[in-house]
Chains A and B, each alone.
Chain A
Amino acid sequence: QKEVEQNSGPLSVPEGAIASLNCTYSDRGSQSFFWYRQYSGKSPELIMFIYSNGDKEDGRFTAQLNKASQYVSLLIRDSQPSDSATYLCAVSLDTGRRALTFGSGTRLQVQP
C-alpha cells in the first residue's frame, strides 16, 4: 500500500462545476496535509494547508480533512479552464522523517 494515494485521473469537469479531488494516507498519526497545484512542466505551488478535522476554505478552494477515515479532499468551486493542472496531495507522515510524502497526483481537466 502506498503511503499517500490519489486517483491519477484525468478528472474532467465542465467550466463552472465543482471539482472534487481525493487523497488517502496510510499513517494514522499524520498531522499536516497540503495540496499543491502543478502546471505541466512547472514546479508545484502550494494552494492549501490543513491540519485539523473539518473544512478549511480559501476563495474557491475548500480542503476537507477526516483523520478517522484517513482522507483529505480538495474541492474547487466554479472551476475555470485555468484550473486545469495536476493536483498533488502531500502529507507530513508520523514516521520520524522530516520531509513531505507526495501522492502521484490527480490530473484535472476543466472543459470550456
Chain B
Amino acid sequence: DGGITQSPKYLFRKEGQNVTLSCEQNLNHDAMYWYRQDPGQGLRLIYYSQIVNDFQKGDIAEGYSVSREKKESFPLTVTSAQKNPTAFYLCASSRQGPWAPYGYTFGSGTRLTVV
C-alpha cells in the first residue's frame, strides 16, 4: 500500500545536538511538506518542496534545514539553532497543489523531545 513513512516515531535530542527526521513516500507525489505542532495548537509550516532539488521556507524555518534530492524523500534536520524544538512533527505530501480536492496525505508523525 502507498503511503508516507516517518521515522523515528519518538526522538530525544540533547542540547546542542542536530537531529534528522526521516520522511519517505511511495505515492509518486511531487509536493512534500513539513509542519510542526505544539500542544493545543494547529500546524505551522516549516518547509515545503514542489519538485526535486527545490524547496521554500515556511513561517518557522529558522533552526531547521531540509533537502530534496529524491522525489520520494524529504528529510528535516533540526539544528542546534532551534532553541525550542520539543514538538510533534508532521510530514505530508500532495498529488497536485494544496488547492486540489485530495488535500494532504500525512505521515504518522515524529515526537521530538529535548532532554
A65-102: contact bitstring with B at CB < 8 Å (1 yes, 0 no)? 00000000000000000000000101010000111111
22 pairs of residues in contact across A and B, judged by CB atoms under 8 Å: A4-B42, A31-B99, A32-B99, A32-B100, A43-B106, A46-B102, A46-B103, A49-B101, A51-B101, A88-B42, A90-B103, A92-B97, A92-B98, A97-B56, A98-B50, A98-B97, A99-B33, A100-B98, A100-B104, A101-B45, A102-B44, A104-B40
Asked whether any CB of chain B lies closer than 8 Å to the CB of A44, the reply is yes
Q: Which residues of A contact B (CB under 8 A)?
A: 4, 6, 8, 31-32, 34, 36, 42-46, 49, 51, 88, 90, 92, 97-105
List which B18-53 residues lie within 8 A (CB) of chain A: 31, 33, 35, 40-45, 48, 50
Nearest B-chain residue to A49, judged by Cβ:
B101
Residue of B42, B90, B100, B108 with most chain A CB atoms under a 10 A cut-off: B42
Nearest B-chain residue to A103, judged by Cβ:
B42
User: How many A-B contacts are there with CB distance less than 8 Å?
Assistant: 64
CA A79 to CA B103, docked complex, whole Å: 24
Interface contact B106-A44, CB-CB below 8 Å: yes
A42-B108, A99-B48, A99-B58 are contacts. A49–B43 as well, Cβ < 8 Å?
A: no
Chain B residue contacts of A51, Cβ below 8 A? 99, 101
